[in-house]
Homo-oligomer: A and B are copies of this chain.
Amino acid sequence: MNPAMIEAAAVRMAGHVRQTPLLNAPLLDRMAGRRVFVKAECLQVTGSFKARGGWSAVSALSPDARARGVIAFSSGNHAQGVAYAAAAHGAPCVILMPSDAPAVKISNTRAYGAEVVLYDRATEDRDAIGARLSEARGLTLVKPYDDPQVIAGQGTVGLELARQAAEVGITHAPVFVCCGGGGLASGIALALQAQAQGLQVRTAEPEGFDDMARSLASGTRQRNPALSGSICDAILTPVPGELTFPILTRLAGPGAVVSDAHALRAMVLAFTHLRIVLEPGGAVALAAAIFGEGLPDTVIAVATGGNVDPVTFATALDHSA
């Protein structure tokens, strides 16, 4: 992994993946007691930063591999990112999803042009099905984070952020990043090291699923005891990535941990003051930036995704009223 890979990914995705704005709001700053800048990746095509990694991975394939196609395991943002990129490249795309995934996620993934293969979580082995399909059709697996081209794609957020922060005069600030396996956080960290060394990544995770924070603190990869039980479903991963963890060990500050209540509150504040839609897992970095203690007077948060169903969002708003 090196910064040139991120620059190259940015060149490949130009015109296909959106440069998202860096937002702020005077009344939000007043409420937080500090200046809070928000990189709004919820406005990305497909509604999350995952379109970047998907595009980077698919566009880096050889013409032969692309013609055979790609496969991914995901019921959420990664599925949509890979499906979008594959369709635009004319590459066949198979997404393996559990048969009990929400119907809207299945239909959205199909709408992006992917072939959705359903499996039964209780009785079938996802990896075995994936391996069989990959072998039979010569599909390339696009991993959600532990892949150099995926990390490079997510790192393009960091290139944009370095430029946008400089435009508003920010030279030193923590950059909170919602963290599952660490693909986005590590990509941003590499880009910032190259282009804005006063900006330091800090991962943000939900309470009880803080494998990255504990891993960074202990120096070795720690596992989460469970994989469900937080509203932040998009970022519940078992353990930091093999590629991402060493990068973050070297470049990131201590990990932040956020309660579900603060994540919901951040969703509502983003609604009220920034007029953007965040899913709970996409709001933990903003929650850390707003509610964290001992922070400097300017902070940045990457708001990673906005694929939330209307009922969940309405419930969050109702509770705030």
Contacts and interface: CB of A to CB of B under 8 A. Distances in A.
Interface string A233-251: 0000000000000000000
Q: Which of A45, A309, A314 has the most CB of B within 10 A?
A: A314
Contact of A310 (B23, B112, B318): B318
Contact of A311 (B21, B42, B318): B318
A258 to B, nearest CB: 20
A25 interface: yes
Interface in A14-32: 18, 20-21, 23, 25-27, 30
Nearest to A108: B27
A26 B47 contact: no
B45 A112 contact: no
B271 A313 contact: yes
A274 interface: yes
Contact of A20 (B21, B309, B313, B317): B21
Nearest to A18: B21
> Copy number of this protein in the oligomer?
2
A43 B306 contact: no
Interface in A281-321: 306-307, 309-311, 313-315, 317-318, 320-321
A108 B27 CA distance: 8
A40 B309 CA distance: 21
Contacts of A112: 26-27
Contacts of A25: 45, 47
Interface string A104-128: 0000100110000000000000000
A268 interface: yes
A228 interface: no
A276 interface: yes
Contacts of A321: 309-311, 314
A111 B28 CA distance: 11
Contact of A43 (B45, B271, B276): B276
A257 to B, nearest CB: 25
A273 B112 CA distance: 13
10 contacts: A21-B21, A21-B43, A40-B43, A43-B275, A47-B275, A271-B313, A275-B276, A311-B321, A314-B314, A314-B321
The 10 A-B pairs with the shortest beta carbon distances in the complex, nearest first, are: A275-B306, A310-B317, A314-B314, A275-B277, A314-B317, A42-B275, A311-B321, A314-B318, A310-B321, A27-B111
